[in-house]
Amino acid sequence: MNALSFPALTEPDAIQAVIGLARWCGAKGWVPATAGNFSARIDLARAACTASGGDKGAVTEQGVIVLDIAENLDGPGHPRMSAEAPLHLQLYRDDPTIGAVAHAHPLAAVLLSRRHVGAGRIVFEGWEMQKAIRSVTTHEGALELPIFANDQDTRRLGLRVSQARAGWNGPVFGYLIAGHGIYAWGKDAFEARRHLEAYAHLLDLILEEERRA
């Protein structure tokens, strides 16, 4: 565990991190109905994840389950596992430095993901908020946010994301699913939340800029 850059969590602490992320997004209005999913890594093998259904903005300990990454990607899956959980688990499998993942539905993310899915990405240039993304130190330069077409087979979609990662340019800590929402991650729940909020703000700016064009 010492080789990992995310702070290893106890199971109760990971559950509380998930609850904190989910409720924060609920307060933002980013998880309407039963939308959204949130997770925090416990160790190399396990992650705490929101279960299927329920209001994520009011989630409690009973709404968070612990998933074995390999078993739930390669096997039939936990009976309470969300349909979107494989997207979280695939990220954890691919990158052991990821400590938390947030999936939410900010309005601009949903709208722009449909509008720009043909380009396969949205590029931010010249915005000060780009510096909220890890390792970005200036507003100069371009910051990419990939977009993927929606797919109800989330294991297949997770593999598409996994295969695309090698071709990403610059720091990337999130992606959009067309007509669906955004995934953002970080070394811990705090960084995942920061990245999610930064991307959401940048998308708001792009949406408003396009409206005025």
Give residue 3's pLDDT band: very low, low, confident or very high (50, 70, 90): very low
Q: Which amino acid is at 196?
A: L
C-alpha span between 107 and 196 (Å, rounded): 13
Specify the pLDDT at position 7: 65
Indicate whether 2 pLDDT > 80: no
Torsion angle, CA of 26/204/108/60, rounded to 10 degrees?
-10
User: Tell me, what's the pLDDT at 213?
Assistant: 86
- Assigned token pair, 82: 């969300």
What is the model's pLDDT at position 195? 98
Task: Give the pLDDT band of residue 206 (cuts 50, 70, 90).
Answer: very high
| 62: amino acid identity, one letter | Q
Domains of the chain: 11-212 (3.40.225.10)
Secondary structure class of 179 (helix, strand, coil): coil
pLDDT exceeds 50 at position 101: yes
Over the stretch 64-79, which tens digit does the pLDDT of each residue have? 999 999 999 999 889 9
Section 72-89 average pLDDT: 94
Where b means 16+ CB within 10 Å and e means fewer, 66-85 reads ebebeebbeeebbebbbebb
Token pair 């998930």 is found at 18
Q: What is the tens place of the pLDDT at every residue in 156-199?
A: 999 999 999 999 999 999 999 999 999 999 999 999 999 999 99
Q: What percent of the chain has pLDDT over 70?
A: 96
Report the chain's mean pLDDT, rounded to a whole number: 95
pLDDT, tens digit, 9 for 90 and up, residues 137-151 = 999 999 999 999 999
pLDDT tier at 9, thresholds 50, 70, 90: confident
* CA 22 – CA 30 distance, rounded (Å): 9
Asked if 92 and 76 count as a contact pair (C-beta separation under 8 A), the reply is no
- What is the mean predicted confidence (pLDDT) over 18-26? 98
DSSP class of residue 51 equals B
pTM comes to 0.95
Percent of the chain predicted with pLDDT > 90: 93
DSSP symbol at 80: T
- Which alpha helices (DSSP H) does the chain contain, by range? 11-28, 69-74, 85-94, 107-115, 154-164, 189-212
b/e 15-47 (16+ beta carbons within 10 angstroms → b): bbbbbbbbbbbbeeebbeeebbbbbbbbbeebb
